[in-house]
Structure 1
């Protein structure tokens, strides 16, 4: 999608800033770098770049501008309207809401991949066959975290992780299944589960 010269300058600055600092610049820093006196102008450019699918940001959070790499850049239609909150207890009053939400709002700029779940070993954690888990790439895990673990270099499994001396216990969330005990040297953590997606139809 075509961008203006100024928008290209902002993209180049964002990429350079994030590369140097490891986090995104504030609107004030963008304004100073671009020689702009108005933050409203910066906001306009950033919003237009977001609509073009060249960057994403988490609204109401500072330093949340993420450059989307080519190939993963999404159209604005990939964002869903956030219509409000729904009560799972007592009913609450509904109101019109102009916010939107995308997967990037959930995962931020973390390195995340999705896996389709096969089997019911984690059903008591409300992760069932056919669900999709969002997994942050990681090589380590804390006690009790739900992880994707590579066992014996050939098999992957979704379980809760527990380190017990020189053994790893991979604990299912299903009372009909036994935990898996594996020597620590034969287990490699590939990621930690951030969330679950479920399609009903």
Structure 2
């Protein structure tokens, strides 16, 4: 038997998949269920997964598949969250703060090959609180070109997959479909400037067509041993 919140979330995910073909983001699920923390969504998803109602698709940060519905809920109501809501909200159980998500680890950022060509068999366990909505992957940082931004050699950069960026964001930029780099992104007319965060390095300037954004920095992990 599912709790009211578990049933709400299951129906919301099912409705979202049938309507748009993709799983809802953790932010969307948090707002739909009126929760204060995304870690509460991770707890609900884990409970649904353990009970065999959903499964997570491998190597994709927000890909969920609904396997079954509770008895008596063979059809999806137009407003699944409202339909599953109890008359009175039950007191919430304290939310665990140590939830983790496994994201693909794609090697070192200075490897000199497109992100898509890097091996994706390894993964990195990441605190869920460091990740927002969308699909993520991790890269090991090589070099000291971003030290003044607090990004050190050997750190793990957590990257939200995207093809667009705003000026001033730290991005993974693929140059000439061959060399990947982690730099500040800025536009200058028809050109792109990639700025390091180290006074010992100069900015890299390219024609816009030579640069393809492959993600933006979402967080950072560092090991001390």
TM-score (norm 2): 0.55
Q: State the superposition RMSD in angstroms.
A: 3.5
Contact 1:17 1:24 in 2 (8 A): no
Query: Of residues 57, 66, 85 in structure 2, which corresponds to 1:70?
Result: 57
Moved over 6 A (4+): none
Secondary structure of the 2:171 match is strand
Q: Cα distance, 1:24 vs. partner?
A: 2.8
Query: Of residues 15, 18, 24 in structure 1, which corresponds to 2:16?
Result: 18
Higher relative contact order (CA 8 A, sep 6+): 2
Structure whose CA Rg is larger: 1
Q: 1:124 aligns to what? A: 148
Q: Cα distance, 1:15 vs. partner?
A: 2.8
Q: 2:122 aligns to what? A: none
Whole-Å separation in 2 of the counterparts to 1:68 and 1:138: 25
TM-score (norm 1): 0.61
Distance change (3 Å), C-alpha of 1:51 and 1:105: farther
Q: 2:171 aligns to what? A: 147
Query: Of residues 170, 179, 188 in structure 2, which corresponds to 1:164?
Result: 188
Contact 2:49 2:55 in 1 (8 A): no
Q: Cα distance, 1:108 vs. partner?
A: 3.2
Provide the aligned length of Structure 1 versus Structure 2: 147
Q: 2:73 aligns to what? A: none
Q: Any stretches of 5+ residues in structure 1 without a counterpart?
A: 29-42, 56-66, 74-96
Per-residue CA distance 1:95-143 (angstroms, 9 max, x = gap): xx97423322321332111100011100111101100011111111111
Distance change (3 Å), C-alpha of 1:51 and 1:119: same
Whole-Å separation in 2 of the counterparts to 1:16 and 1:149: 35
Q: Any stretches of 5+ residues in structure 2 without a counterpart?
A: 35-40, 61-93, 101-126
